[in-house]
Amino acid sequence: MSRGKSEAVRIYSGGRVWSPGRSGAGAGAGAGAAAADGWPIRALAEQGGRIVALGALAELQQQYSNAECIDLCGRLITPGFIDCHTHVVYAGDRSAEIERRLAGERYEDIARSGGGILSTVAATRTATVAELVQLALPRVAALLAEGVTTIEVKSGYGLELDTEIRMLQAARELGVQRRVNISSTYLGAHALPPDYRGNADAYVERVCKEFLPAIAAGGWARNFDAYCDAHAFSAAQVEKLFTAARALGMRVKLHADQLSNQGGAVLAARFEALSADHLEFTDEAGVAAMARSGSVAVLLPAAYYFLRQTQLPPIAALRRAGVPMAVATDCNPGTSPVVSILAAMNFAALEFGLSVEECLDGVTRQAARALGLQQECGSIAPGYWCDLAVWNVTHPAELVLSLGHHPLHARLWRGQPDRALV
């Protein structure tokens, strides 16, 4: 391997580090206070974009005598945040639909009358890859401005192969044009396409036989997702889809039990899903199944807020059973038009009762796990990508409990800061 510039070592020191599991109040610990000072001040060495060592500054300087040393000036350091559930690639505008909901219409009724996901499908089918990228870039920029370094992007507004692939191409392009890691998910069963109305089984069959193999063969997405609910796909249909996806080597995720209990969490667990997401109507059996499978509960409190739901996900039961909990924006044009991971954390704390520690854990380590990336990112440890967020806050709780501030000082992505750190 050539010893080019990328092989140079940088040592970052003088920050107050928060990393999941380090303060003794990790996931499942309930209302533990996040450690104000993180670890004792230590340093980390980065090479080739990855963290190669942690330790005292003097030790690392001895080990890497030619390293450039960068002082983080006492700022709070966290792993770069991971938004593990988004639909940031789409065209069209659904603000009129949100107005209809404000006037009292239910989301399910709007969806059944051709609004909801299907109105975004109509707009997205007419958009080029370049247009989809241009529309998504400001959404990505907003997330990056809040310390996000990895974004999951779902397809699911095409519901036919060409548009689904264009969406996944656009997702990939976002990772080329911006300093961010994109994890792509094929959401082939987001809604029933209009041309299959009354014939959902035929659409499911087509996804299994034609679309999924094409997506897998093209390497367009690592993971497969579906929407299991009364107005979406049934548990039996999702079972067929998951069987096909797993046979192709894909991991699965599920929009589960959001508006009604369809046994989605149990189904997801049976297929060792990376995650089951939403979960407002998940029962004890679903929680127990997820605890056994190790699937992550991805909580989407911004969707809960925008849908003005009243049924809370079973947070206490998830916590008791030791189910890992992640938090994400669910950024989408209709039910969660939110491009703020900090707002999602705030809603998770205030609406769902997560502790500050759980919120931070939920956008780092557990979010990584929900994407199958827990060996790569979401923690500050040797071997991990050096994806960090450097914050102008005194206490980690400020990241969760304040809204509308701009606390990010800088991001480091793959070891490189977005801007001068001092």
- Residue 392 CB, shortest distance to Zn ion, in Å, is 31
- Residue 184 CB, shortest distance to Zn ion, in Å, is 14
Among residues 393, 377, 298, 296, which one has the least CA distance to residue 341?
298
Q: Which residue has the tokens 């069959």?
A: 205
How far from each other are the two terminal CA atoms of the chain, in whole angstroms? 32
Tokens of 51: 């963290």
Pick the closer one to Zn ion by CB: 79 or 286.
286
As a whole number of angstroms, the distance between CA 50 and CA 283 comes to 41
- Residue 26 CB, shortest distance to Zn ion, in Å, is 26
Pick the closer one to Zn ion by CB: 330 or 387.
330
Pick the closer one to Zn ion by CB: 280 or 330.
330
Pick the closer one to Zn ion by CB: 29 or 98.
98
Pick the closer one to Zn ion by CB: 347 or 391.
347
Burial status of residue 26 (CB atoms within 10 A of its CB: 0-12, 13-18, 19 or more): middle
Q: How many CB atoms lie within 10 A of CB 222?
A: 17
List, in sequence order, every residue forming a beta bridge with 186; answer none if it has no partner.
224
DSSP 78-126: EEPEEE-S------S--HHHHHHHHTT--HHHHHHTT-THHHHHHHHHT
Pick the closer one to Zn ion by CB: 84 or 342.
84
As a whole number of angstroms, the distance between CA 101 and CA 334 comes to 10
- Residue 177 CB, shortest distance to Zn ion, in Å, is 23
Q: Which helix (H) or strand (E) holds 203?
A: helix 200-206
- Residue 260 CB, shortest distance to Zn ion, in Å, is 16
Contacts 24+ apart (CB under 8 A), 288-296: 288/321, 289/265, 290/265, 290/318, 290/321, 290/323, 291/321, 291/322, 291/323, 293/268, 293/269, 294/324, 295/265, 295/268, 295/269, 295/323, 296/323, 296/324, 296/325, 296/326, 296/366, 296/369, 296/370
**What length does the chain have?**
422
Pick the closer one to Zn ion by CB: 215 or 302.
302
Pick the closer one to Zn ion by CB: 330 or 358.
330
Pick the closer one to Zn ion by CB: 83 or 330.
330
Binding positions for Zn ion, rule: CB under 5 A: 330
- Residue 255 CB, shortest distance to Zn ion, in Å, is 5
- Residue 372 CB, shortest distance to Zn ion, in Å, is 17
DSSP 348-361: HHHTT---HHHHHH
- Residue 329 CB, shortest distance to Zn ion, in Å, is 10
Asked if 249 and 399 count as a contact pair (C-beta separation under 8 A), the reply is no
> CA of 389: how far to CAs of 134, 140, 378, 404, in Å?
25, 16, 11, 18
Pick the closer one to Zn ion by CB: 44 or 111.
111
> Which residue in the shown chain puts its C-beta closest to Zn ion?
330
- Residue 94 CB, shortest distance to Zn ion, in Å, is 14
Asked if 39 and 72 count as a contact pair (C-beta separation under 8 A), the reply is no
- Residue 85 CB, shortest distance to Zn ion, in Å, is 6
Pick the closer one to Zn ion by CB: 90 or 384.
90
- Residue 204 CB, shortest distance to Zn ion, in Å, is 19
List, in sequence order, every residue forming a beta bridge with 184; answer none if it has no partner.
153
The amino acid occupying position 400 is V
